[in-house]
Amino acid sequence: MTTQPTQSPWLPFGTADHADIRLLCLPHSGAGASAYRAWGAGLPDWIGLCPLQPPGRETRRHEAPLSEAGPLVAALAEDVATAVRAPYAVLGHSTGAIAAFELCRRLRRIGAPEPAHLFVAGRRAPQIAERSSRLGELTIEELADVLRRHGGTPDWVLDDPGMLRMLHPLLTADFAVSEAYAYTPEPPLDIPITAFAATDDPRAGVAQLAAWQAQTTGTFTLHELPGDHFAVLAHADRVHAAVAAALRGV
């Protein structure tokens, strides 16, 4: 997979100008752009994978993480508008899903080229309020318990208090992006939305993912995946097939 260099810190792996269409991917809480590198290896060559790097992690670890969706997408939208060639699509998982949604709305407001498709997973529709995990008030031991219930965090991290202390500010900020998010009604997007719903995700059930349909005037598709909050990552082949089918011919 070849990529084009970019000066944007949001696009550490380039803009995939070689591809017919680009897929911008926003990660879940605590994760960085590298979370999608191995996951996206099975995508067809005509889809260019472009993992996005929010502040506070990996190549941007010395920057303060953002705890609100508004400032995050305002900064990201400027780079997408100038650095990413259309056509492109956006995919977001968990906290990344609400950021992806608000990115689409921000791009519409500033008159920039909009994505051809929005893919979301692991996050209830924006008009449905999220529950608060109150991570900022937890001890390190309590944080480990919360992350263990969510799934997706390696045991070696959960068993390392030093690592958890280092991750605590980032996780608190990331969770706040989703959990403190206040939905502001706007007209639905004019782009298709595809939602991936995990059958055993207590934070974002199938009905809550189906509610994303209200956010588009275009086609809405719901795919159910067996598993927990991270089913969209665990079932990469199925997700890739659905993404390719949705983007073919764009």
Tokens 């970019």 belong to which residue? 6
149, 101, 151, 106: which is closest to 125 by C-alpha? 101
pLDDT score recorded for residue 4: 46
Are 187 and 158 contacting, i.e. CB atoms less than 8 angstroms apart?
A: no
Per-residue pLDDT of 223-248, as tens digits, reads 999 999 899 999 999 999 999 999 99
| Amino acid code (one letter) for 78 | E
Phi, psi of 223 (to 5 degrees): -115, 130
| Amino acid code (one letter) for 132 | S
Are 229 and 150 contacting, i.e. CB atoms less than 8 angstroms apart?
A: yes
Per-residue pLDDT of 16-63, as tens digits, reads 999 999 999 999 888 889 989 889 999 999 999 999 999 988 999 899
**pLDDT at residue 10 tops 80:** yes
Are 49 and 16 contacting, i.e. CB atoms less than 8 angstroms apart?
A: yes
Per-residue pLDDT of 79-135, as tens digits, reads 999 999 999 999 999 999 999 999 999 999 999 999 999 999 999 999 998 876 666
CA distances from 72 to 77, 116, 133, 207 (A): 9, 21, 20, 28
Annotated active-site residue in 29, 94, 133, 178: 94
Catalytic annotation present for 94: yes
Ranking 31-35, 169-173, 193-197 by mean pLDDT, the lowest is 169-173
